C-alpha cells in the first residue's frame, strides 16, 4: 500500500528502493568540506569540527569530512585541534588506517569498509596500534589534497586536514572535494564577504558558517 519511499543510508539501499517500481525520494552522496581562513576564531572552529565530525562517529552525510586551512594560521589551528581533545595521527598510522578503511574494488576504485563505519576513535586507533586517551572523540592527520580520506566520503571520526595558500585556494579545493554533489559545506571566517562568496560558490543545500554540521540540519541542541 506504500506509494512513496523516502530513503537514505547509502547507495545499496537507494539502489534497492529504485528497483521497487515505486516513487522514490532518495538522498545523494555527500563529502562536506570545511574551510578555515585566517580571520576565524581557531579555538571555536576546532571545537565545532570535533563536535560535528564526531557526532555518532561521523556517520551523518552532512558531517565534516575534510578540512582546508589557510597556511598563515595552519600551525595554530593544528594546536587548537589538539587543545580541544583531538589526537593527531602520524603519516604511518594514517596511511595504514586508509588501507584498512578503503578496499580496492574491481572497477579500479575503492569501496568503504563497512566494518569501520561508525566505529569509535579508540577502535580505529587500536587498528593502527596507536594509544590514545580514554574519551577521545576524533582522530586527525595532516595530508595532501589527493589523499583518499579527502576525496572519498568516509563515515568515521577521522578528519584529514589540508594546508591551502589562501581563501581563494581553499575555496577551489572545497569545490573540487565536494565533487559537485551540492550537499553540505562549512566555513569558519569573520569576513562576511568571504562567507557570502563561499556560500554562493558552493551552492550546497546546507551551508554552515562558524558552527558545526548538525546546526544545518535542524534546531541546535
For every one of its 221 residues, what pLDDT tens digit does the chain have, with 9 covering 90 and above?
Answer: 999 999 887 777 888 999 999 999 987 789 999 999 999 999 999 999 999 999 999 999 999 999 999 999 999 999 999 999 999 999 999 999 999 999 988 888 888 999 999 999 999 999 999 999 999 999 999 999 999 999 999 899 999 999 999 999 999 999 999 999 999 999 999 999 999 999 999 999 999 999 999 998 766 55
Distance between CA atoms of 161 and 144, rounded to whole angstroms?
8
SS3 assignment, position 132? coil
SS3 assignment, position 61? coil
* Owner of C-alpha cell 574491481: 106
Handedness of CA 171, 173, 178, 181 (dihedral sign): positive
Residue 67's nearest CA partner among 217, 136, 170 is 170
pLDDT confidence of residue 6: 92
pLDDT confidence of residue 28: 78
- Pairing type for strands 102-104 and 110-112 reads antiparallel
pLDDT confidence of residue 219: 60
Distance between CA atoms of 163 and 75, rounded to whole angstroms?
9
Q: Are 32 and 186 in contact (CB under 8 A)?
A: yes
Which residues, other chains included, contact 130 with Cβ-Cβ below 8 Å and sequence gap of 6+? 87, 89, 93
Distance between CA atoms of 209 and 221, rounded to whole angstroms?
17
Q: Give the angle 33-179-186 at the CA atoms, nearest 5°.
A: 20
pLDDT confidence of residue 106: 84
pLDDT confidence of residue 13: 83
pLDDT confidence of residue 216: 86
Distance between CA atoms of 44 and 57, rounded to whole angstroms?
20
Specify the length of the chain in residues.
221
pLDDT confidence of residue 148: 96
pLDDT confidence of residue 57: 96
Residue ranges of alpha helices (H) inside the chain are 11-18, 42-54, 74-83, 91-101, 121-127, 148-151, 167-178, 192-202
pTM of the model as a whole:
0.92
Amino acid at each position: 500500500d506504500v506509494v512513496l519511499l523516502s530513503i537514505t543510508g547509502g547507495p545499496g539501499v537507494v539502489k534497492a528502493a529504485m528497483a521497487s517500481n515505486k516513487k522514490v525520494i532518495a538522498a545523494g552522496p555527500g563529502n562536506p568540506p570545511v574551510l578555515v581562513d585566517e580571520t576565524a576564531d581557531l579555538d571555536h572552529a576546532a571545537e565545532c569540527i570535533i563536535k560535528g565530525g564526531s557526532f555518532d562517529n561521523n556517520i551523518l552525510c552532512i558531517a565534516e569530512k575534510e578540512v582546508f586551512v589557510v597556511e598563515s594560521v595552519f600551525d595554530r589551528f593544528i594546536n587548537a585541534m589538539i587543545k580541544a581533545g583531538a589526537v593527531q595521527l602520524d603519516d604511518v598510522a594514517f596511511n595504514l588506517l586508509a588501507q584498512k578503511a578503503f578496499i580496492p574494488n574491481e572497477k579500479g576504485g575503492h569501496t568503504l569498509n563497512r566494518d569501520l563505519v561508525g566505529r569509535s576513535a579508540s577502535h580505529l586507533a587500536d587498528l593502527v596500534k596507536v594509544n590514545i586517551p580514554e574519551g577521545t572523540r576524533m582522530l586527525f592527520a595532516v595530508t595532501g589534497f589527493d589523499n583518499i580520506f579527502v576525496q572519498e566520503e568516509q563515515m568515521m571520526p577521522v578528519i584529514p586536514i589540508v594546508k591551502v595558500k589562501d581563501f581563494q585556494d581553499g575555496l577551489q579545493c572545497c569545490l573540487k572535494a565536494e565533487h559537485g554533489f551540492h550537499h553540505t559545506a562549512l566555513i569558519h571566517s569573520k569576513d562576511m564577504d568571504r562567507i557570502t562568496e563561499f556560500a554562493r560558490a558552493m551552492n550546497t543545500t546546507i551551508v554552515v558558517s562558524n558552527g558545526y554540521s548538525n546546526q544545518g540540519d535542524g534546531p541546535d541542541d
